[in-house]
Structure 1
Amino acid sequence: MDHANAGYERVFGTDDLTVGVGFPLTDASESRPDHETELRLAGHAEELGFDALWARDVPLYWPRFGDAGQTFDPWTWLTAAAANTDEIALGTASVVLPLRHPLHVAKSAASVDRLSDGRLVLGVATGDRDPEYPAFDVEADDRGALFRESVDLLRTVWREGFPEAEGRWGRLDGDLDLVPKPTAETIPLLPTGNARQSVEWIADNGDGWLFYHLPEDTLESYLDEWRGAAGEKPYAMVVRTVLADDPTADPEPVHQGYRAGSEWFVEYFRTLDAMGVDHVVVSTPSEDPERELTALAESVFERL
């Protein structure tokens, strides 16, 4: 595929389930994480065989929501991650398109893609933190339409030289071009959640679908609907994984995932693979994140 850059191939270029890990890799969810520790852990994740590192886009911190992502701007942060790794894919999970000018997104994303030798995969979303919309003078009810306009413009300026286009974001008359262009025809776009769109629209306009953790019976229905609309386009999902000390421990629900022993997680991820999930983004909150990443890789994912 023309859009299959190195990152997309790393994450979706195999029939096997691939695994990424989400920043912050430490447990600093409400304050600025130590960047040296985070980048060292990013390199450790690559050495362990994880396939992607995912950074969230949290423009402004809202304490009521309970986390600040990895705190740093995702473009700056992924550039730093690229400089500290070699081949692991770099993803956004996800850029809040209605709060960003699409030409800025196009320029920043293409820059990170070039600086990382084509490792960027772009999750894109409409956002879910209510106070951010008035802060950016965006009508919350316009999110769906703004999202569609942004996706259309991103594709246009990445693929075409000196394009002509017009929308609520502004107008291009054919005398300006976006540089740099991405390493491939376009940077892969993964709409996240429903993004205030129909599944059919996501299937037609996305290069895959990134969704939240779902119970297995609900997930099965989502996968059936997705395959009916999108064919073989990939499906990725988020799973919070908290390893219990006892490898035989039964699962306990936590936000967006489970606390369980390694034996249960092995069977769980084998089930996801059999159901047709292509990629999982795990988060590993722990007081000893290096040990947790190592244990997760060696006791679970190396056994799949």
Structure 2
Amino acid sequence: MTASDNTVFEEGKLSIGITLPITHEHQSIVDFSEQIALARLADQLGYRALWVRDVPLNSIDYPDPVGHLDPWVLLGALASNTERIALISGAIVLTLRHPLHVAKGAISVNTLSHGRFILGIGSGDRPPEYAAFGRNPDERRDLYRQHWETLAATVNVPSRVIPDSTPEGAPEFYLLPRQNLSIPLLAVGSGGQSVDWIARHSLGWMTYHREPQAQRGRYGMWRAAVERAASGAFRAFGVAMRLDLSDDADEPATDIPLGYRTGRHALASLLHDMRERGTHHVTLNISSERRPARDIIEEVAAYVLPEFHR
């Protein structure tokens, strides 16, 4: 299976994925053996994608206390423990990593997963983290574009390595193993770029959840940008949404930060509305505060996925 075979992004349809790790509020220590088991379950039950975050450093000033694994290590483990589900980085902080290192990681994961990898890319939004890595946050927009260009040249087919510098007598470099298909690049957040730039360079745009009216405006802005920058081409639109699933199937949806607390019936209705308004993929950031994550994954798979993953 290749990433293009797994319909994470398809015009007129909506697919559903899961963000890892699944934790509860204030949890800092994660049992990653359990996370791998949940990933296997999601794969078996027909979810379309597993999303993995890139959090290089932690601080008491950051709201997220979780000790995230290095994304390439976790993605390698997921590639070896799943068979069908797409793997997506959500998102590699491109401005804090050399693009050739990112390309090597992407090619490695894509090889291990037999073409199931989509490379989601972000720019990071924490100025002190830039300083820790010796980067100037004021340069992140230009750095993002420069690194994207180098990365895209390397992971596309045919592949081309763009060195930072080429001293006299330097050999021509390439990356192995060679790929039969280009690795898709996905903009997660804006990276400080215009939506027109994203529409020209990315397979789509992934954003975080907003209330419905704001999200409609966001999608309208995206569609206008796609028409200007890539008229007639398909460009995906996706949303990361927090889910606190009630054990009462009929509980109506109520707003929580970056998502909803809801029963499964209202969840399906919300997702139908999102599909009708132009969203192609939703990754669920599941809250396991009230219920075990396994129960939520199984309930959504049994009652909600069949409405969308036919």
Q: Give the TM-score, by structure 1 length.
A: 0.91
Match of 1:211 in 2: 207
Match of 2:219 in 1: 223
Moved more, 87-96 or 210-219: 210-219
Q: Secondary structure at the match of 2:216?
A: helix
**How many residues matched?**
297
Native 8 Å contact 1:29 1:70 kept in 2: no
Match of 2:245 among 219, 240, 243: 243
Asked if 1:176 corresponds to 2:173, the answer is: yes
Match of 1:87 in 2: 84
Native 8 Å contact 1:161 1:178 kept in 2: no
What pairs up with 1:97-136 in 2 under 5 angstroms?
97-136=94-133
Give the letter aligned to residue 48 of structure 1. Answer: L
Identity %, equivalent residues: 34
Distance 1:104 1:288, change over 3 A: same
Asked if 1:41 corresponds to 2:45, the answer is: no
Match of 2:279 among 270, 277, 280: 277
Distance 1:189 1:6, change over 3 A: same
Once residues 15 and 3 of structure 2 are traced to their aligned partners in structure 1, the CA distance between those partners, rounded to angstroms, is 12
Once residues 65 and 165 of structure 1 are traced to their aligned partners in structure 2, the CA distance between those partners, rounded to angstroms, is 35
Asked if 1:293 corresponds to 2:308, the answer is: no
Match of 2:184 among 188, 195, 210: 188
Distance 1:281 1:48, change over 3 A: same
The Cα of 1:79 is off from its aligned counterpart by 0.7
What pairs up with 1:119-158 in 2 under 5 angstroms?
119-158=116-155
The Cα of 1:196 is off from its aligned counterpart by 0.1
The Cα of 1:203 is off from its aligned counterpart by 0.3
Provide structure 1 residue ranges, at least 5 long, that are not aligned to the other structure: none
Native 8 Å contact 1:17 1:273 kept in 2: yes
User: Deviation digits for residues 30-84 of structure 1, max 9, x if unmatched?
Assistant: 4241121111110001111100000000011123222255611111101101111
Provide structure 2 residue ranges, at least 5 long, that are not aligned to the other structure: 227-232
Match of 1:7 among 3, 11, 19: 3
The Cα of 1:251 is off from its aligned counterpart by 2.0
Distance 1:162 1:87, change over 3 A: closer
Q: Give the TM-score, by structure 2 length.
A: 0.89
The Cα of 1:114 is off from its aligned counterpart by 0.9
Give the letter aligned to residue 46 of structure 1. Answer: D
Match of 1:17 in 2: 14
Native 8 Å contact 1:191 1:206 kept in 2: yes
Runs of 4 or more consecutive aligned structure 1 residues displaced over 3 Å after TM superposition: 26-30, 159-167, 170-174
Native 8 Å contact 2:10 2:280 kept in 1: no
Once residues 66 and 276 of structure 2 are traced to their aligned partners in structure 1, the CA distance between those partners, rounded to angstroms, is 31
Native 8 Å contact 1:144 1:196 kept in 2: yes
Q: Secondary structure at the match of 1:165?
A: coil
Once residues 92 and 139 of structure 2 are traced to their aligned partners in structure 1, the CA distance between those partners, rounded to angstroms, is 17
